[in-house]
Amino acid sequence: MPPGTKSVPQHIAIIMDGNGRWAKAQGLARIKGHEEGARAARECVEACAELKVEYLTLYAFSAENWQRPKSEVFALMRLLEKFLKEKTPELIEQNVRLQAIGRLTDLPPACQQQLHKSIEATANNTGVTLILALSYGGRLEIIDGIKSLLRAIELGHIDKGMIDVAMFSKHLYTRYYPDPDLLIRTSGEMRLSNFLLWQLSYTEMYVTQKLWPDFTKKDLFAAVEEYGRRQRRYGAVE
């Protein structure tokens, strides 16, 4: 925890970008970048535990990332499965609760199985909630939310006149979590890439040029420090 940090975000969301460029710069295959990226993700979970951040959402694989070459997609899925298998004991030890959002049934069966195993194994942990966004797309999530609302209306659970922001939020993948306070994107890209479109409406953004595999605990602390200096107004006057 950087000493003197006043306000720690309750929820940090990260677009972990730049693995491929990192690998290219080292003359390595893209998958090596993803492997290093997994290490950086692990470090960030630790940093969040130290800061007592309650929720950390990591954009690990987007709905659009399926368009990448089959070999890269396959390698990423293998890496995810391996990472979960190897790291679950550590997550338990560090009291991390694992969750996932996205169209999880799109993942290969072995990945889904390992994911559910890890989620179950960490379900009673009370420290950081680590939410992996997998096969996640913000627009798809909103569509799924609308379908879920329509179902609830059909079943007579709700009346359409009752629909408001709070109720719609309860039909999204993120219904159990507060909106992110801080969004970090690495590798300098100034875009959301279909990440948490609904939830980020009043989130503070922090973009760093660093490529994701180079992102360290210190960088996360720096982002949190900067967050502490922001003034959140939500459209109101001070």
Q: By CB under 6 A, is residue 19 in contact with ligand IPE?
A: yes
Buried b / exposed e over 91-120, threshold 16 CB at 10 Å, is bbebebbbbbbbbbeebeeebbebbeebbe
Q: By CB under 5 A, is residue 23 in contact with Mg ion?
A: no
Which of residues 51, 60, 80, 152 is near ligand IPE by CB under 6 A?
60
Closest Cα to residue 131, out of 107, 88, 102? 102
17 classed as catalytic: yes
Q: What distance in Å separates the CA atoms of residue 187 and residue 204, rounded to the nearest whole number? A: 17
Residue 7: CB minimum distance to ligand IPE, A: 26
Binding mask 173-192 for ligand IPE (x = CB under 6 A): --------------x-x-x-
Please, how many CA atoms are within 13 Å of residue 19, restricted to the half-sphere of its CB?
A: 20
Q: By CB under 5 A, is residue 17 in contact with Mg ion?
A: yes
Q: By CB under 6 A, is residue 35 in contact with ligand IPE?
A: no
Q: By CB under 6 A, is residue 193 in contact with ligand IPE?
A: yes
Site size toward Mg ion (CB under 5 A) is 1
Q: By CB under 6 A, is residue 131 in contact with ligand IPE?
A: no
Q: What distance in Å separates the CA atoms of residue 195 and residue 136, rounded to the nearest whole number? A: 8
Q: What distance in Å separates the CA atoms of residue 28 and residue 48, rounded to the nearest whole number? A: 30
65 classed as catalytic: yes
Residue 138: CB minimum distance to ligand IPE, A: 11
Binding site for Mg ion (CB under 5 A): 17
